[in-house]
Amino acid sequence: MTSADPHPPLILLSGVVKRFATAAGEFEALRGVDLTVDHGEFVAVVGKSGSGKSTLLNMIAGIDRPSEGSIAVHGSSLGQLSEAQLARWRGLSLGIVFQFFQLMPTLTALENVQLPMDFAGRGAGPEAAGRARELLRRVGLADQADKLPAALSGGEQQRVAIARALANDPPLVVADEPTGNLDSATADQIFRLFEQLVAVGKTIVFVTHDRDLAQRASRVLEIADGRIVGDHLVGLSAASETS
C-alpha cells in the first residue's frame, strides 16, 4: 500500500520490532508486527501479562518508537516526526485513555478536558469551555464539571479521561486497560461509552484482560510473546488468521 491509495488505512504497522535493553541483555517485546486498522474499527487487544500489549499500543500512540519497522497513523509516518511534531500530531489525531486515569490533579474536570484544546492552540475561551462542557455532558458528568479529580470516583475520573481524549475530536482513541481499575458495573458504563463513540465513526483500539469485554469489540487481536497470534473479527464464524 502507498500513500497514493485513495482510502489509506487509519493505522498501518509493518515489520515492527521493539527491543529493550535490560540488565540481562536485549529483550524483544515486539517481534515483527504487521497490522492494519481501518477507520471505524473497534479493536480489542488481548494476551497474557508481559506479552507486549502496552508496547504495541505505545507504538500506535507515538509514545515510544520502534527499533525496526515503520508505523503510519492518520496519514503520518511516525518515524519521520520529531518529538515536538509527534506531540502536536498526537494532540490532533488521537486521544489516549490510561488505566490509572491520569488526570491533572490540580485542574477541575472541565479544565482537564480543555487542556488538550489549549495545547493544540484551539483557544481557551468560552467556546472551548462550551465544547468541553458538552463532552462532559456526553459522558454523563455535566454536574461534576467543576470538581477536582480527587473528588471524583474512579469511574467518573475515567469518564473525564475519555472526554479529554475526545477534546480535539480525533478520529482515533487508544486505551490501555481503561477498565482495569474499575468494578464490573462501572467498567460496563465505560464500555458503553466506547460503543457510542464507535457508532459515531471513531476508531478505538483498547487493551483488556477481560475476555467478555473483548468479545463486544468488532475485532480481537491476540498477542503472545511479542507476536500477533490471533486476529478475529467478532460475529464472523471464521477466524481470519494473520501472521
Ligand X SMILES: Nc1ncnc2c1ncn2[C@@H]1O[C@H](COP(=O)(O)OP(=O)(O)OP(=O)(O)O)[C@@H](O)[C@H]1O
**Residue 78 or 96 having the CB closest to another protein:** 96
Q: Name residues contacting another protein, limited to 32-71 (CB under 8 A).
A: 58, 61, 63-64
Least distance (Å) between residue 241 CB and another protein: 30
Alpha carbon separation from 6 to 2, 71, 72 (Å, rounded): 9, 18, 15
Least distance (Å) between residue 56 CB and another protein: 13
Least distance (Å) between residue 63 CB and another protein: 4
**Residue 106 or 153 having the CB closest to another protein:** 106
Instruction: Pick the binder of another protein from 19, 38, 70, 119 (CB under 8 A).
Output: 119
Instruction: Pick the binder of ligand X from 37, 44, 53, 61 (CB under 6 A).
Output: 53
Least distance (Å) between residue 161 CB and ligand X: 18
Site string for another protein, 126-145 (x = CB under 8 A): ---x----------------
Alpha carbon separation from 39 to 90, 139, 159 (Å, rounded): 17, 22, 23
Q: Name residues contacting another protein, limited to 65-104 (CB under 8 A).
A: 83-84, 87-88, 90-92, 95-96, 98, 100, 102-104
Q: Does 54 bind ligand X (CB under 6 A)?
A: yes
Give the residues lining the site for another protein (CB under 8 A): 58, 61, 63-64, 83-84, 87-88, 90-92, 95-96, 98, 100, 102-108, 111-112, 114-120, 124, 129, 146, 149-150, 164-165, 167-168
Give the residues lining the site for Mg ion (CB under 5 A): 54
